[in-house]
Structure 1
């Protein structure tokens, strides 16, 4: 699925993508920037990291078309920093997700927040932008972050980090919220989008089937965590070791974040409780 870095690839009428050169265990082969629009005007979605090579490629891909807006799905540093140099060079407004910057209390499992992100306008759920003949609609999907938006256009949904085909989504408290994430998955399950284009990884050609699988996977993980607590596990570290045997060490922080998010949600439901630094089944 990987196009060469900085090379524009048409995906379907009205949607094309550019791949940034920022591969990692959390970004797959890199951040995918999408151009939504027609021959006259475009919107740039998730401009990505502030890398000269990538920003130059975006500007070249836009060419002489009008840049209507620069829109971000959320404000992790692999998604939004290039919004600023792009705005400076082409003068387009930043219109999309709300600003959000939270200092993590421990090592992050994914990219940190972009504290300098400053939108000219925030899109609410259901609000739209138009680039020529193509309309793009914001779909609020909190969970991965509280400010996360997806964008629907021409039968496709640009899913940011909310749904990815190559990996489960990292949900890390305090801002990441498993209850919100599950509700957002259910919201997408009830839609009829034809294809998902995530910010990382391949296109998802059977989106509703994947979303149903993801909901089932998270519910299964809940049951596993409760069963491990009943078996005597008490810490997040023990739960990660027993729920994710053989996990790549680089991914342990992500697994710990997701386990923590599950525990917080299970506590709200009265299924587990916390005593000091330990957890137990209720």
Structure 2
């Protein structure tokens, strides 16, 4: 029987070139946990690791055990559930690391650049800048799949990080992913994979537009100067209150977008 998501610390083949190792760090923001993607071209002994994940010794050791030689490690964005295990991962594998944020570079002085093509482990991986969730968010485009980090999740929707994410950037990134994801699988950093990345991106756009309409309606009722949490209580009344702090970040981004 084929392994199905979620399968903690089991290497699950998803496409001919992509396997996933799910970290055992489920939570409100991580869903079932963080997906560490292991990419390998046909016949390659080496692999590319995307997002080593949290500071979880068992998970990092399992990557080293199952991945084999790591030619390169790529980071989709800075959040700790993707990067906190990086130090041990480097120690275990000796892998160079590249990211858009220079903070995480190792054995390289080149941050990832939009449009560049990385050749490693028998693959060509195109870097696609997809800011919005965070300013440094990137996606990786393969011949048959797109790895979207937290920009598109396997279920639910993405929070806009109020510290540097913007809804304008996010919507522009969704448009890019509709184009880049046509005919390709969606390989997210949290939640299950999907067969059609472009279709999921279109659903995300529709959802964001629906939320914007709800926020506009809330402002008509509450007043145009209503604070984010007041809007959350109005728009997200049917959502678990434990998720309201995260919803507040997205509402703040929506208010900034509408007011600008």
TM-score, normalised by the number of residues in structure 1: 0.84
Asked whether the equivalents of residues 14 and 154 of structure 1 are also in contact (C-alpha less than 8 Å), the reply is no
Given that residues 3 and 9 in structure 1 are in contact (C-alpha distance below 8 angstroms), is that contact kept between their aligned partners in structure 2? Answer: no
Change (3 A) 1:263 1:3: closer
Deviation at 1:118, TM superposition (A): 4.1
Q: Deviations over 1:230-281 (max 9, x none)?
A: 112422222111111122121001111111000111111xxxxxxxxxxxxx
CA deviation profile, 1:100-150 (whole Å, cap 9, x unmatched): 6xxxxxxxxxxxxxxxx4443311011122233221121110000000011
Deviation at 1:193, TM superposition (A): 4.4
CA-atom RMSD, angstroms? Answer: 1.6
Q: 1:16 aligns with which of 19, 22, 47?
A: 19
What is the CA–CA distance in structure 2 between the aligned matches of 1:18 and 1:24, rounded to whole Å?
Answer: 17
Partner of 1:41: 46
Moved over 4 A (4+): none
Unaligned residue ranges in structure 2 (runs of 5+): none
Counting only pairs closer than 5 Å after superposition, residues 148-159 of structure 1 correspond to structure 2 as: 148-159=137-148
The yes-or-no answer on 1:75 pairing with 2:78 is yes
Give the SS at the match of 1:79.
helix
Q: Which residue of 2 is the match for residue 107 of structure 1?
A: none
Q: How does 1:218-257 map to 2 (within 5 A)?
A: 218-233=208-223, 234-257=226-249
Unaligned runs of 5+ in 1: 101-116, 269-282
Structure 1 residue aligned with 2:184:
194
Q: 1:162·1:169 contact (CA, 8 Å) conserved in 2?
A: yes
How many residues are treated as equivalent by the alignment?
250
Q: Alpha carbons of 1:4 and 1:221: their partners in 2 closer, same or farther (altered >3 Å)?
A: closer
Moved more, 247-256 or 88-97: 88-97
Check whether the contact 1:99–1:147 (CA below 8 A) recurs between aligned residues.
no
- SS for the counterpart of 1:54 is helix
* Structure showing the higher helix proportion among its residues: 2
Q: Is residue 75–residue 99 contact of structure 1 (8 Å, CA) maintained in 2?
A: no
Q: Give distance in 2, aligned partners of 1:69 and 1:239.
A: 44
TM-score, with length taken from structure 2? 0.91
Cα distance, 1:3 vs. partner? 4.4
